[in-house]
Every structure is written in structure tokens, then in C-alpha cells.
């Protein structure tokens, strides 16, 4: 089992009213250092194993055809292979693992 993380964001230069509103909210909270906010989507897919290359091509196709609208959005995907099948079946563990991954990625 593999996991694909897909990030969909508005293309550079396209007005993001949501991002603007969030920026306004952060400013109101005193976070004056925020210069710009862009709001996007995070989509998580669990997919059957395959070669990484093939998987990447399939995910890209999914993004092109449905997950993103290429007229206004860019996308980025990363694939994470998962070892334990037990872990796969427990959503709470899965989520904890995700959080952990995020922390690791930050560092």
C-alpha cells in the first residue's frame, strides 16, 4: 500500500480571495509579519502498490483530469510507501503517522 499526498494550489498571479481574507485575519491577531497567504487543498490518496514511476504518472494524470483544474491550479504530489498492513487498517494510527511525518518533514 502506498500513500500519495497531493497539494493543489492556485497558480501564481491568480487572485486568491480566501488567502486575502485569512491574511486579514492574521493581521487582526497581530501577525504583522505575514506578507501573503495562499489557501490550497491537500488531498490524500491510498493506492495499491505499483512501481513508483508508474504511480507518479497515474497520480499526475489524476491531477490533470480531476483533482486540479489546470486553468487555475498547480499541483504537487509525493508518494510514500507504507510497510505495515496492520497500520493501514487503523485510521487513528494512520493519522498519527501522518502528523509525525509532517513533523519530520518540517525538521
Partner 1 sequence: MKFGVIVFPGSNCDHDCYHVIRHVMGMPVEFVWHKETHLSGFDCLILPGGFSYGDYLRTGAIARFSPVMRAVEDFAEAGGPVLGICNGFQILLEAGLLPGAMLRNRSLSFICQDVYLCLENPHIPFTLLGHSSQVLRMPIAHGEGNYYADPQTLAELEANGQVVFRYCTAEGEKTDGANPNGSLHHIAGICNREGNVLGIMPHPERCCEGILGNEDGKLIFESILLTR
**Which residues make up the interface to partner 1 (CB under 8 A)?**
10, 14-15, 17-18, 21, 66-67, 69, 71-72
**Alpha-carbon gap, residue 22 to 31, rounded angstroms:** 11
Q: In the complex with partner 1, which residue's Cβ is closer, 1 or 26?
A: 26
Shortest CB 77 distance to partner 1, Å: 16
Q: In the complex with partner 1, which residue's Cβ is closer, 57 or 72?
A: 72
Q: In the complex with partner 1, which residue's Cβ is closer, 1 or 22?
A: 22
Amino acid at each position: 500500500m502506498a500513500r500519495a499526498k497531493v497539494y493543489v494550489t492556485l497558480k501564481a498571479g491568480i487572485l486568491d480571495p480566501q488567502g486575502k481574507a485569512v491574511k486579514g485575519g492574521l493581521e487582526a491577531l497581530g501577525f504583522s509579519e505575514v506578507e501573503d497567504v495562499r489557501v490550497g487543498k491537500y488531498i490524500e490518496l491510498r493506492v495499491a502498490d505499483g512501481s513508483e514511476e508508474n504511480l507518479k504518472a497515474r497520480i499526475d494524470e489524476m491531477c490533470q483530469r480531476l483533482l486540479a483544474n489546470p486553468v487555475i491550479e498547480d499541483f504537487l504530489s509525493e508518494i510514500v510507501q507504507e510497510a505495515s498492513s496492520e497500520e493501514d487498517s487503523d485510521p487513528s494510527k494512520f493519522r498519527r503517522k501522518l502528523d509525525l511525518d509532517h513533523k519530520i518533514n518540517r525538521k
